[in-house]
A = this chain, B = another copy of it.
Amino acid sequence: MLRAADIVEDRFPAKGFYMYPWYGLDLIKRVIKHLEELLDETGHKEERYPSLVPLSVFMKEKDFFEGFQGEAYLITETLRKEKLDEPLVVRPTSETIMYPLWVKRINSYKQLPIKIYQTVNVFRLETKMTKPLLRLREVTFFNEAHTAHKNLEEAEKQVKEALKVYMKFYDDLAIPYLVIKTPSWDTFPGALYNYDLVTVLPDGKCLELGSVMNLGQKFSKVFDIKFVDEKGEWKHVYQTCYGISERAVGALIAIHGDDRGLILPPEYAPIQIIIVPIFYSDEQKNTVMKKCFNIKKNLEKEYRVHLDDNVEKTPGYKFHYWEMKGVPLRIEIGPKDIEKGEVTLFRRDLNVREKVAENSLLRKIKEIFSEFKKNLKKKAEEYFKKKIVIAKNLEELEEHLKNKPIIIPFCGKEECANTIENRFETEILGFIENFKEKLPEKCVACSSKAKHWALIGKTY
């Protein structure tokens, strides 16, 4: 489906690597651009760092090194088998690439906070099954933000700002999510704690949509990133980092799509309006094509419009094809429409056809596009409710675990997590922050006092 819709080309001769044709690339770029705009609006600046880093630098922060050593690619030689002076690590993420430069670039409290981001390719040797957009060995669009602050309090505030940005980003994509705090025993290597945004895909697996880490002074002490504070004293900065990738587009496609194919919100769709001419004779053809060109010319001042003038395909074929590709609105123009001064619209949010007078076309398009996200959101929220089950005891947990993520009242203790994880071959992903239902008294596993709603499930 992703290949047929020109989103991803999955026949590259190396596992976990994919190519993006124009249509998929344009969609991804529009989605990531929106994220970048939200970061710009909150005072982040874009910078660009190298992709490779000397091994000795990558190894500096021990937890981080441990966490990534199974996944990170190492370059030790050229094609001609000449050894490099020092092996280079291909970035799986850029902490150890940015921070050695921050040592040199940060001196004074006047420079703080520093809030930067970059959108780059990163590499991880995923050993599980790879999957287009979701589990990649090369993530082509990794937007990673990194910040530095004077004190822990400001770093904590930054974590909240980042979560707010990410929540807005996914709200704008009409993708439902839970915000979870990762259990201490599962925290991102090198972080004090981290939050994840998590959604559920139609197959019942959880998908991590983005992560926000409070790094405290772990990296700044190892790399010795210091600043002179207001009193003239040297202190180590406090840091946070957070990231989102083209997974966001994977979620967008998986959650909003239907039996016919993709459904793309107009804000991000590479083609917002497809015009399909309908005619049965050469005479009709001339009139219809002329009208199509005129309407296209009018609309493309405001919208991304494509006129499908391929004479070798039937209108029916074209309807299916562009529905599959998720184009939000189709305009059909035939001889009868022209006689009546009408056009036929097909909107992909509701999959319904309607006639509209040509002279109110612009107003109608505006109306449809303004309702589009609301309609997607409503459907997605209903979908999301059905996808997750609350289990208040172990029987309920076991009953649903095969197909769905489960929410349980939980005490928060690692032993108790181990018991559940071993017994049910599942994973406690984290403690939910944005779930409003009243928490029951007892942990499902140990019956001691429940402290959190915990999310349990399989992940991508």
Contact = CB atoms under 8 A, between A and B. Distances in A.
A12 B100 contact: yes
B121 A13 contact: no
A47 to B, nearest CB: 6
Contacts of A51: 121, 123, 138
Contacts of A88: 14, 73
A268 interface: no
Interface in A54-72: 54-55, 57-58, 65, 68-72
A45 B19 CA distance: 14
Contacts of A359: none
A178 to B, nearest CB: 31
A2 interface: no
A44 to B, nearest CB: 10
A50 interface: yes
A74 interface: yes
A414 interface: no
Contact of A79 (B14, B47, B72, B79): B72
Interface stretch (A20-28, A211-219, A290-298, A380-388): A20-28
Interface in A101-144: 101, 104-105, 116, 120-121, 123, 125, 137-138, 140
A123 B437 CA distance: 52
Contacts of A138: 50-52
A47 B25 contact: yes
Nearest to A56: B13
A130 to B, nearest CB: 12
A76 interface: yes
A315 to B, nearest CB: 20
B46 A19 contact: no
Interface residues of A, number: 59
A18 interface: yes
B140 A52 contact: no
Interface string A245-273: 00000000000000000000000000000
B19 A101 contact: yes
A125 B80 CA distance: 11
A104 B19 CA distance: 12
Contacts of A81: 74
A73 B75 contact: yes
Contacts of A77: 73-74, 76
Given A78-B69, A125-B78, A13 B100 contact: yes
A14 B47 contact: no
A9 interface: yes
Contact of A46 (B22, B57, B58, B140): B22
A114 to B, nearest CB: 11
B79 A19 contact: no
Of A13, A25, A76, most B-chain CB atoms within 10 Å: A13
Contact of A9 (B9, B72, B105, B137): B105
21 contacts: A9-B101, A11-B104, A13-B54, A13-B57, A14-B86, A19-B47, A19-B49, A19-B50, A20-B48, A21-B47, A50-B138, A52-B138, A55-B79, A58-B79, A69-B78, A70-B80, A71-B79, A73-B77, A75-B90, A78-B125, A84-B125
Q: Which 9 A-B pairs have the closest CB atoms?
A: A17-B50, A69-B79, A20-B48, A22-B45, A72-B79, A69-B80, A73-B75, A19-B49, A25-B48
